[in-house]
Amino acid sequence: MEILTYPNEALRNKAEAIDMEDSEFMKYIHCVATDMQLTMLGSNGIGLASTQVGIPYRIFAFDSNIFEKVIVLANPKITFSDGEVVEEEACLSIPGYSARVKRSLLVQVEWDDISTGNHRDDWFSGRDARVIQHELDHLDGILYIDHLGPLKRRMFEKRYAKLQKQGRIPKY
């Protein structure tokens, strides 16, 4: 799958819920999930949201430390969060740049497991919590650079424009 890069407007689209009861549609979602996992791993990523590959449904894959494997969350929703931590983040859709972003340290997430069809409710902390928040933002059309203050955002825009001018990042 092609990973869309900033400033592609499709990254600002909000994803739609997945109908877990539609068996024909779920066959498509299973294929999408497999392709997303392969794309994420082939790009050395730890998370990939559907909107990053132009798919408008609420699903993302990530390499979970807690589950010790790549898992796919459909229709994820944070129901509780606690604590704060500021750490470095990067994104497959914003190559060549990283920044420190404040996120919750602990999150409770309701989600649908496409492999079993079960609705789940799990707690995630540390890196898993950060990745989940990052990928959920993607599903809502939000990029991690949107969490930067005005000065850091201007610095990002200048650096990113320079990388594009050098041909190191595609222009849209």
Tell me which residues are annotated as active site: 135
- Report the C-alpha gap between 82 and 21 in whole angstroms: 32
Residue 16 bridge partners (DSSP): 57
Strands (E), the chain: 47-49, 59-64, 69-82, 85-90, 98-103, 106-112, 119-125
Give the CA angle between residues 140, 110, 30 to the nearest 5°.
Answer: 75
Side chain identity, residue 151: L
Kindly give, in sequence order, each residue whose CB lies less than 8 Å from that of residue 100, ignoring residues fewer than 6 positions away: 86, 87, 88, 89
> Chain centroid to CA 172: how far?
20
Q: Could you tell me where the DSSP H helices lie in the chain?
A: 23-42, 126-139, 150-165
